[in-house]
Structure 1
Amino acid sequence: MVFEGGLAAGRSYWAGVQAALAGAAPTVVYDRSGLGRSPAAPAGASRRLAALAEDLGALLDHLDRVGPGGPYLLVGHSWGGPLVRLAAAAQPARVAGLVLVDPSDESCELLFQPSMRRVEQIGQLATVALARLGLLGRAYRSLTASLPPDAAADMRAEGFTVAMTRTRGRELEDAAGDLRALVEKPPGLAGLPVTVVSAGRVSPGMPASARERATASHAYRARQSPHGRYVVLPEADHMVLTTSPAELAEEIRRMLRPDAD
């Protein structure tokens, strides 16, 4: 199982889910370039969605060389959802299935509206300002409190830095363009099993109206797979992996047991 985080999200977010999956299968989390313990990509190197998917493909190549190899179950949260779809489409034969966790999805028209660009810009400015003041971690106290102690300590040390905000800005360079590219050329998943998990509760920055449209896009995405499954976790907000880690882990385990239903 290989886990892919959302926008500018490093490995530590997944710690609770990893712990809940102990013994199910080997699990791999990692930091994308410029996050956590990974150095930033060279200046001028793209950090747009297609480039991030290529990096994930390179990680799978590495696992093929040094480990038992695939097939791989790819789990992507938020911006990691379209990312793992692109990586799977590049080499579907080595992928066992996908779990998309409250994913960003190009079928959600809200993501293309000018208001979303303003939200992204304001969010980036606020994130940079809080990081420079050393206050960004305080805004995410409830998130770090939900993690195992070692992962929480790593996140406090690595997850709220000015360097992270630079990476965040690079990953946000043209989110609408990245999603539009998926509309124009949908990733072909060759009939792979896909589970799409939606949050059941609203989140800061995601009011009820936005939650409704995001949820509709998730149900649509599940219907596009001949082996699609759609699940709502009622107690989860957008950070499903920290608000409902055990329930999310069970849905991932279900993907490992295709005959469970």
Structure 2
Amino acid sequence: MDTEPQDPVVVALSKLVPAGVDRGRLTRESGRQLRWVAAGRATPPVVLVSGAGEVGLDWAVVLPSLAEGSRVIAYDRAGLGASDAISRLTLDSQVRDLVALLDDVGPAVLVGHSWGGLLAQLAAFARPDQTLGLVLLDPFHEDSTAEVPLALRVSSNLLLNAIPVLKTLGLFDRIAANMGRTLAERCTDDLEIQASITEAYRASYRTFGQVTTIRAENRLANTCTREVRAARATSTAPDVPMRILTATRGKPAALRQRSGDLADQTAAVFARGVHVVVPDSGHYIHKDQPAAVVEAVGAVLAQVDRDTQ
């Protein structure tokens, strides 16, 4: 573990967390580095797994509150943020990286958003001994894509294909700055801290490789159905406390219904699974309704504490 004040993400998050933020690295194959940041001291650790194309900084809204009750670890997946790229990005490589992180810092509670929610489940299936609990925030499910309207699928694919062009033209930097500014405004009213968070977000997508990894991860979500179904069919869910939170805004009615049904199915796989519908929240529950996420993580941690007494 080393503290690197010059890291813009560490600098930004340290302004939100009074006790400070550490930076850690995990060495993977061929010397590839997986970067993570951590805040808080209490155990057990909580590992935050971001959505497709997103970085550890994406958890900035809830990280300070979570760090009050546990050691919270947010990592950048291969090719994103400060983590080195991998020669071939696959679903298996992403799960193996998360499992390696669990082996290094765990056992832990996994908190995953969207694509990260799926990765958290697969990591829990692979290493139940390192998984103390799960909180899934509007998680991606391979069987939900059929309910996505064709027009939305087409527009999403067009946007993904345009990302490298936007980066080459210098336009993606403006998009990143706007997204970073929106994130910052959800974190604090302090203009100086907002500027620091915005700069850290821009730094997370500064290179061409970082930006193209956004497209690569989203494409994984479109091609992983058979692989994920096989993993579900051959795996046993660990007997750990589990919460799955689903959003209520921003989805067509059919997709919202399908997502809810799949969330019920996912919760039923876990002996202590609970599905919670979060009122007035879009897909980014940890940004729209951060208190609901903090409450869910706290409930799981409380159950973990009872399990270990």
- TM-score (norm: length of structure 1): 0.84
CA distances 1:72-124 after superposition (whole Å, capped 9, x unpaired): 10011000011011111111012111111100013425279977753442130
**2:268 pairs with 1:220:** no
Equivalence for 2:30 = none
**2:203 pairs with 1:157:** yes
Distance 1:38 1:109, change over 3 A: closer
Distance 1:35 1:114, change over 3 A: same
Paired residues of 1:218 and 1:230 also in contact (CA < 8 A): yes
- Between the aligned partners of 2:290 and 2:163, the Cα distance in structure 1 is 25
* Runs (5+) with no aligned partner, structure 2: 1-45
- Between the aligned partners of 1:15 and 1:97, the Cα distance in structure 2 is 21
Equivalence for 1:145 = 185
Match of 2:229 among 183, 191, 210: 183
- Between the aligned partners of 2:236 and 2:149, the Cα distance in structure 1 is 26
* Runs (5+) with no aligned partner, structure 1: 64-69
**2:87 pairs with 1:48:** no
Q: For 1:51, give the aligned amino acid.
A: S
Paired residues of 2:80 and 2:205 also in contact (CA < 8 A): yes
Q: For 1:145, give the aligned amino acid.
A: E
Equivalence for 2:121 = 85
Higher-Rg member (1/2): 2
- Between the aligned partners of 1:196 and 1:136, the Cα distance in structure 2 is 30
Q: CA RMSD in A?
A: 2.5
Q: CA deviation at 1:210?
A: 2.5
- Between the aligned partners of 2:288 and 2:65, the Cα distance in structure 1 is 13
Q: CA deviation at 1:10?
A: 0.4
Q: CA deviation at 1:259?
A: 8.9
- Between the aligned partners of 1:155 and 1:26, the Cα distance in structure 2 is 22
Distance 1:5 1:90, change over 3 A: same
**2:51 pairs with 1:3:** no
Q: Secondary structure at the match of 2:296?
A: helix
Q: Higher mean Cα deviation, 28-37 or 123-132?
A: 123-132
Q: For 1:59, give the aligned amino acid.
A: L
Q: Secondary structure at the match of 1:50?
A: helix
1:106-185 to structure 2, matched below 5 A, reads 106-108=142-144, 110=146, 118-131=154-167, 132-133=170-171, 134-137=173-176, 140=179, 141-148=181-188, 149=193, 150-159=196-205, 162-185=208-231
- Between the aligned partners of 2:211 and 2:304, the Cα distance in structure 1 is 43
Report the structure, 1 or 2, having the larger strand content. 2
Match of 2:241 among 168, 171, 193: 193
Indicate the percent of aligned positions where both proteins have the same amino acid. 30
- TM-score (norm: length of structure 2): 0.72
Q: CA deviation at 1:165?
A: 2.3
Q: For 1:2, give the aligned amino acid.
A: V
Paired residues of 2:163 and 2:215 also in contact (CA < 8 A): no
Q: Higher mean Cα deviation, 148-157 or 238-247?
A: 148-157
- Between the aligned partners of 2:144 and 2:287, the Cα distance in structure 1 is 24
Q: Secondary structure at the match of 1:257?
A: helix
Equivalence for 1:29 = 74
